[in-house]
Amino acid sequence: MWQGAQAGDFRIVSSELLLLETLVKPLRTADAVLEASFRALLLSSHELRLIPITISILDSAAHLCAATGLKTPDAIHAATALAVGCDLFVTNDHDLTRVPGLAIALLDDIVQRLHGVRCGTAYRWSKHGDNDSEGHHDD
> Is 37 inside a domain boundary?
yes
Number of folded domains in the chain?
1
- Return d(Cα 17, Cα 73) in angstroms, integer: 8
Look at residue 118 in the predicted model and tell me its pLDDT.
Answer: 54
> Is 138 inside a domain boundary?
no
Tell me how long the chain is.
139
> Is 113 inside a domain boundary?
yes
> Is 82 inside a domain boundary?
yes
Chain segment 76-128, per-residue pLDDT in tens: 999 999 999 999 999 989 999 999 999 999 988 888 887 765 555 444 444 44
Is residue 90 within 8 A of residue 121, CB to CB? The reply is no
Is residue 1 within 8 A of residue 14, CB to CB? The reply is no
User: Which range marks the domain in which residue 75 is found?
Assistant: 2-131
> Is 53 inside a domain boundary?
yes
> Is 48 inside a domain boundary?
yes
Percent pLDDT > 90 in the chain is 65
Q: Given a cut of 60, is residue 132 above it in pLDDT? A: no
Chain segment 6-55, per-residue pLDDT in tens: 777 788 899 999 999 999 999 999 999 999 999 999 999 888 999 999 99
What is the CATH classification number for the domain harbouring 54?
3.40.50.1010
